[in-house]
Amino acid sequence: MIKLYSFGANLNVPDPSPFVLKINLLLQVSNQPFEVISGTQYLQKAPKGKLPYIEDGKHIITDSFFIEKHLKDTYGFDIDSHLSTEQKAISELACASLEERLYWCIVHFRWVFESNWAVIKPTFFGDMPFPLNRIIPKLARKGMIKAMKGHGIGRHSEAEILQIAASQLQAMSNLLGNKDYFFNGKLSLLDVCSYSMLAQILLPNMPSPLVDLTNQYSNLVAFCERIHTQYYS
C-alpha cells in the first residue's frame, strides 16, 4: 500500500499544503490503496526536506511532479488520458503557472498578512513547549519571507501581489467558463491543481483581500465546492 506523508488536515482543509492536497486527490482518483501518514515531524524526515513524499514498497518518491510520474509509470494511471495533445499542453502549462504564481500569493497572505499570521502561528506552533513556541515561529516566518524574496514575490507590494493573483484567477475563470471541469466533462490534472490551490484560499476561515478577490469569481467558488463535496465531504 502506498503511504502518503503529509502535514494532516488543518485550517479546515484536508491538508494546508496545496501540493500534498494535489497528491491526496490524485491518489483517490487513481483508485490505488493508500494510507495518509500525517505530522510535521515527517518534514524533517523527508528526503528533500519537503512534503509530500510517498513510500511505495521499496521506493520513496518526493515532489508532487515525480509522484505524478510514478503513478503513471508504475500503475498506468494517467488522469489526462482523455485530453487531446493540445489540451495536455494547456494543462501542463496552466498547472505550472498556478504552482509558480498563485501559490506564492497564497504564501504571502498566510505568512506576511498580519491577521492571518495571527491564526497560523498558534495553529502550527502552539503545541510547542516554551521557549520553542517563541523561537521557532519567528525563524519559520523569517525563512518563508526570505524564500519569497528569493522567488521574487516578496519584493512586490501587497497591491501588486493581488494583481498577480487576479491574472491567475481570471485566466482560470475564463478557461473554466460554465463547465463542471476544465476539459471534456471529466476530471483532469488541471482540475486537481486548481482545486488544491483554491481550497487553500476559500476553505480556511482567514479573511483577506485574496479571499475577497477569489470570491468575485463565482464559477471558481462553485468549482471548489463541487470538488470538495465530491471527494472530502
Sorting pLDDT into bands at 50, 70 and 90, what band is 82?
A: very high
pLDDT at residue 72, rounded to an integer: 96
Asked if pLDDT for residue 179 goes beyond 90, the answer is yes
Q: Considering the entire predicted model, what is its pTM? A: 0.95
Q: What is the pLDDT of residue 121?
A: 94
Instruction: Kindly report, as residue ranges, where domains of CATH 3.40.30.10 are found in the chain.
Output: 2-75
- Residue 44 burial (CB count, 10 A): 8
pLDDT attached to residue 53 = 98
How confident is the model at residue 162, as a pLDDT? Answer: 98
CATH superfamily placement of domain 2-75: Glutaredoxin (3.40.30.10)
Given a cut of 90, is residue 207 above it in pLDDT?
yes
Q: What angle do CA 9, 10, 14 make, to 5 degrees?
A: 40
Distance between CA atoms of residues 185 and 183, nearest Å: 6
- pLDDT at residue 149 in the model: 96
| Per-residue pLDDT, 86 | 98
Classify residue 131 as exposed, middle or buried by CB count within 10 Å of its CB (0-12, 13-18, 19+).
exposed
* Mean pLDDT of the 82-107 span: 97
pLDDT above 90 (res 195): yes
> Residue 44 has what pLDDT?
87
pLDDT at site 181: 98
Percent of the chain at pLDDT > 90 equals 94
Contacts of 38 (CB under 8 A, 6+ apart): 5, 6, 7, 8, 9
Split at pLDDT 50, 70, 90, the class of 127 is: confident
CATH number listed for the domain at residues 85-232: 1.20.1050.10
Average pLDDT on 73-81 reads: 96
Q: What is the mean pLDDT of the chain?
A: 96
Closest of 11, 231, 230, 227 to residue 116, by C-alpha: 11
Predicted confidence (pLDDT) at residue 193 exceeds the cutoff of 90: yes
